[in-house]
Amino acid sequence: MADEKACPLCGGNNHCGVVSQKADCWCMTANFPKEMLSENPTSCICEKCLEEYRERNA
């Protein structure tokens, strides 16, 4: 089973607020490309990887 706190792309901490039992998470207001989510359904993607993906695919 995948570590829910690890980003599936880089393996770093994804800072998921939901997993950390906070009320919400930074990703709730982030706009993820559909392709990125369909490729990585196991756990939350970190903010750094989201930004890098956007830069590569701009």
Residues 11-52 pLDDT 10s:
999 888 877 776 678 888 888 888 887 776 677 889 999 999
Q: Say yes or no to pLDDT of 4 above 90.
A: no
Domain residue extents for the chain:
1-58
| pTM (2 d.p.) | 0.77
Cα–Cα dist 45/14, whole Å: 6
- The pLDDT value given to residue 39: 74
17-44 as b/e, with b when 16 or more CB fall inside 10 Å?
Answer: eeeeeeeebebeeeeeeeeeeeebeebb
Q: Dihedral sign, CA of 46, 57, 32, 38? A: negative
SS3 17: coil
Q: Say yes or no to pLDDT of 2 above 80.
A: no
